[in-house]
Structure 1
Amino acid sequence: MVRKQSDDEASSASAPAQAAREAQQPPAKAEPKQRSTSVVIFALMIAMLLAMLDNMIVGTAMPTIVGELGGLEHLSWVVTAYTLATAASTPIWGKLGDMYGRKGVFLTSIVIFLGGSALSGMAQSMGELIGFRAIQGLGAGGLMVGVMAIIGDLVPPRERGRYQGIMAGVMAVAMIGGPLVGGTLTDHLGWRWIFYINLPLGAIALAAITAVLHLPKKRSEGRIDYTGAALLTVGITALVLITTWGGNEYAWGSGQIIGLGAVGVLSLAAFLYVETRVAEPVLPLHIFRNPNFSLVTAIGFLTGFVMFGSTTFLPLYQQTVQGATATNSGLLLLPMLLGMLVVSLVAGRVTTATGKYKIFPIVGGLLITVGMFLLSTMDTETTRFTSGAFMAVLGMGMGCLMQTTMLVAQNSVEMKDMGVGSSSATLFRTLGGSFGVAILGALFTNQVRDTMTERGGGKAAAITSGSAQLDPASLKLLPPPIRDAYTHAVASGAHQVFLWGALISIVGAVAAWFVKEVPLRGAAAKSTDGDDAAAADTAPIAETV
């Protein structure tokens, strides 16, 4: 008995010393886990690039596609089908990931996207291509949501800032490289390769995620909210079609547009009613009770509105007024994208180091407002250097907002709602972009036609009666007086677009002031007095890889 007691005392006495020795030794598997996380992030960025690159890369090949397949009257549906499927499926993918596990759902979305890509490359008619593009869009919705939600699972919000620059870089590569890659593939290998190029990239992402990503498996006992999903899909489809067709296919006051508006409103009203009654809503409304989540979702909508609106009309201004080629106009966006990349990197580093983030939405809203106002001052005499400086200001504002709003949105929901939180933020930004292009496009078109009538008379106005956008080849064929009138008209239309964009940006800047700086999950890891809390907070994340 005495021997046993002395042994216990010796063991007890040596326990602190042993614990101290173990604490000084680095974890045996820390390096493999870090390496595995890096591989997963790399694979996720490939998947994100695939989703973002696709629309950019397709645009330059459209004339060649129409030349081979015909169906010019259905040309817009090649893009619209993809956009519709992406927007409508986004919230559904998010909910499926929350219910059944993120990894399997994400891998499924990659397979669907790659299948749609392969089928699009083999399309023999415009109808087939449109249908296969819709399949691609279904997968793309899961790619975007899956990337954001998985990063939300793997990396605490406090540490997530270090990856903001990577995501901003992927966006820059997609926006600049898309037209260049699309044109090169179309000219040298044929337009089908703009779809086939997705297959090897997707295969790399698929293999890496399958082998390295290990997330806890889930199995929900609840049933999928099919009614809510159907109503939400109808509502989103109606809204996207309004923004796509309004002022183009049909007049804004036409029965078709008004009918779509009624369908959209009724579907979304019924959707809200259903979501309050079902056990597992596809979009839980309780996440919007968090003021921060609602605010950054609204800010994301406004950011999408301004960002997509501006990037749509900047190349047109550069080609028509400043004489840039289609390829060069993409490269001339580089100041905006570099500004976004650099500031996003800085914002991420600061957020990771300090845990402070409220300043970035505020500064971002102000910079976007200033940048849009500066762009509204451009005219026919503005140099490329000056417009590049204005774009850099706009890009810096975007860099403050793009990833920070997603970070705050994910930090504002519980881990079990990470998927629907990420998908909601993504959906509202996408819808903001659709509305931005449609509404700012209508302002642009009306201003161009009014200016053409004022400067060139009825003959000049007739040139833009079908469309306010002329391609460079058609522009060169115009008589010098008409061409001069059109150049001034485009500059005037761009002025209206950017001025209204600046006014709308003010709303986002004001909303940012009301965001509360709630401590980011994972912040305890930086505390020297809270080692136990830090371990408890980060351990589940470390175990996922």
Structure 2
Amino acid sequence: LAVSWGGSQYAWDSVTIIAMFAGAFVALLLFVWFESRAVDPILPLRLFRGQVFSVSVVLSFIVGFAMLGAMTFLPTYLQYVQGVSATGSGVRTLPMVVGLLGTSIAAGTIVSRTGRYKIFPILGSLIMAGGLFLLSTIDAQTGTWTFSLYLFVLGIGIGLCMQILTLIVQNTAEFRDLGVATSGVTFFRTLGSSFGASIFGTIYVNELGGRLARALVQAQIHDPAAIGSPAAIHALPLAQRTPIVNAYAETIQRVFLYAVPVALLALVISLILREVPLRGTARAAASDVGEGFAIPENADNVLALQRAIVRVVRGAPPEQLRQISERSGTSLDTATAWCVGQVALRQRIDGDTALAPIARRYRVPAPVLAPAFSATVAAGYLGGDETSYAITESGRGEMGKLTDEFHSWLADQLSDWGGDHDTEFRTALQALARRLIDDDPALPEVGTA
């Protein structure tokens, strides 16, 4: 409220604004005091002892500050200066979205292959500053293609920063803090966006007031209500419309220009960001832009570990799974191993071991799977029939070999999470097993693997 009302509804040195800043400062101190003593804090202060997390959240704050603070005024420019409709102004910002998503995916792919990420926040901050500077030159004569190019450049800069910052934090946070660290980056970006929109809004109001007053005199318009909407402005004769449009254009130019130093500050901070080797799970998730641009789906650490397991298994090449089978020394072939695995999995969580629910889970007609299960029964690895299968001692022994080798491989891939002896690791595997049995279509690849 202080940064929203300061300089517009109240003077910066008014009692109201000073009291709001003082109240915010006291509230921040109270928050730190309580968080430092809480058994399970919302935002553990130990996170800020890590240089990588601290730098990343500052960068995330600045990116949000510059991005939304500047983007808020793109529709204003398009509607008041260019005379574009509200719907059209949304469509005209698509080049920025294209640049943002395209570079995020490309940067994630490169990071997943190389494990190097520091260059992206540096380049992103520099390009973002360039895009904001280009936008500070737009006026009523700026063409559609030129404006689209400037937006595309800004989108590239933002895209190189946002996803990578989330990845960096996920790569360095301890398992117990993974969920809250990821959410923390998003929180600080949102907080920066709030401050950016408020502060740039104040700049916009202060800059526009004087310019618009002079423009009204120049246009010989005595009733400000005559320019109360974009449609009303662009319905005026050219001689009267021009000074009004120029007032809006010059004001928005100043807003974008003031955003340039903020982006350059992000560049300076990016230079001190420490690069550490990427975890295997972080590299597997590098090209996933989901949590880089939205509120994280869940801050639960076990659920985050489940996602990491899924990414590792999903990203494993077929030859890797064959090598696991060979190293285990099992006598099970692919078909019998799959059949025994399905029954063992269901028995472990007291699921239905009949053929029909297994076939339904994978959307395969039961008669298609029946021969494989019959062969597995004949080999002595399973007992029972299509109404209810049960794993035999022989099948349990062979599946044990395969499971032990698979868990060993998975624990090695997830060594940074605590390994197979970690309680959360076992909990995550158990939860995944139940999701597979409960006909959850979200993880078909893991079930097949």
**TM-score category by the smaller chain?**
0.5 to 0.7
2:80 maps to 1:320: yes
2:275 maps to 1:517: yes
- Contact 2:4–2:201 under 8 Å retained in 1: no
Cα distance, 1:293 vs. partner?
0.6
- Contact 1:322–1:384 under 8 Å retained in 2: no
CA distance in 1 between partners of 2:274 and 2:204 (Å): 37
CA distance in 1 between partners of 2:105 and 2:183 (Å): 23
CA distance in 1 between partners of 2:274 and 2:166 (Å): 15
Q: 1:413 to 1:536 in 2, by over 3 A?
A: closer
1:31-79 deviations in Å (ceiling 9; x for gaps): xxxxxxxxxxxxxxxxxxxxxxxxxxxxxxxxxxxxxxxxxxxxxxxxx
Counterpart for residue 101 of structure 2: 341
Query: Aligned AA for 1:285?
Result: L
Cα distance, 1:381 vs. partner?
1.3
Match of 1:533 among 376, 398, 412: 412
Counterpart for residue 233 of structure 2: 475
Q: Counterpart of 1:426 in 2: which secondary structure?
A: helix
Residue correspondence of structure 1 range 78-477 to structure 2 within 5 A: 241-247=1-7, 249-457=9-217, 470-476=228-234
Q: Counterpart of 1:519 in 2: which secondary structure?
A: coil
Q: TM-score, normalised by structure 2?
A: 0.61
Counterpart for residue 326 of structure 2: none
- Contact 1:297–1:428 under 8 Å retained in 2: yes
CA distance in 2 between partners of 1:535 and 1:498 (Å): 44
Query: Aligned AA for 1:511?
Result: I
Query: Aligned AA for 1:506?
Result: L
Q: Counterpart of 2:242 in 1: which secondary structure?
A: helix
Cα distance, 1:351 vs. partner?
1.2
CA distance in 1 between partners of 2:223 and 2:158 (Å): 36
Q: Counterpart of 2:150 in 1: which secondary structure?
A: helix
CA distance in 2 between partners of 1:325 and 1:299 (Å): 34
1:333-365 deviations in Å (ceiling 9; x for gaps): 011000001101101111111211111111100
Counterpart for residue 31 of structure 1: none
Q: Which deviates more, 289-298 or 277-286?
A: 277-286
Cα distance, 1:254 vs. partner?
3.5
CA distance in 1 between partners of 2:189 and 2:130 (Å): 21
- Contact 1:338–1:392 under 8 Å retained in 2: yes
Larger Rg: 2
2:265 maps to 1:507: yes
Q: TM-score, normalised by structure 1?
A: 0.51
Query: Aligned AA for 1:383?
Result: G
Q: Counterpart of 1:276 in 2: which secondary structure?
A: helix
Q: 1:400 to 1:470 in 2, by over 3 A?
A: farther
Query: Aligned AA for 2:78?
Result: Q
- Contact 2:5–2:202 under 8 Å retained in 1: no
CA distance in 1 between partners of 2:221 and 2:136 (Å): 23
- Contact 2:139–2:246 under 8 Å retained in 1: yes
Q: Which deviates more, 395-404 or 252-261?
A: 252-261
Cα distance, 1:479 vs. partner?
5.9
- Contact 1:244–1:434 under 8 Å retained in 2: no
Cα distance, 1:330 vs. partner?
0.2
Query: Aligned AA for 1:496?
Result: R
1:407-434 deviations in Å (ceiling 9; x for gaps): 1122222111123212221221111111
- Let me know the Cα RMSD of the aligned residues: 3.0
Cα distance, 1:439 vs. partner?
1.2
Cα distance, 1:277 vs. partner?
3.1
Q: 1:286 to 1:324 in 2, by over 3 A?
A: same
Cα distance, 1:536 vs. partner?
4.3
- Contact 1:246–1:438 under 8 Å retained in 2: no
Query: Aligned AA for 1:314?
Result: L
CA distance in 2 between partners of 1:410 and 1:460 (Å): 59
- Contact 1:452–1:461 under 8 Å retained in 2: no
Counterpart for residue 443 of structure 2: none
Cα distance, 1:250 vs. partner?
4.1
Counterpart for residue 20 of structure 1: none
Q: 1:282 to 1:461 in 2, by over 3 A?
A: farther
CA distance in 2 between partners of 1:294 and 1:460 (Å): 54
Q: Which deviates more, 373-382 or 274-283?
A: 274-283
- Contact 1:449–1:461 under 8 Å retained in 2: no
Q: Quick check: which one's helix share is greater?
A: 1
Counting aligned pairs with the same residue, the percent is: 38
Q: Counterpart of 2:72 in 1: which secondary structure?
A: helix
- Contact 2:4–2:202 under 8 Å retained in 1: no
CA distance in 2 between partners of 1:456 and 1:279 (Å): 61
- Contact 1:313–1:494 under 8 Å retained in 2: yes
Q: Counterpart of 2:233 in 1: which secondary structure?
A: helix
Cα distance, 1:478 vs. partner?
4.9
How many pairs were matched up?
302
Q: 1:251 to 1:482 in 2, by over 3 A?
A: farther
CA distance in 2 between partners of 1:491 and 1:344 (Å): 31
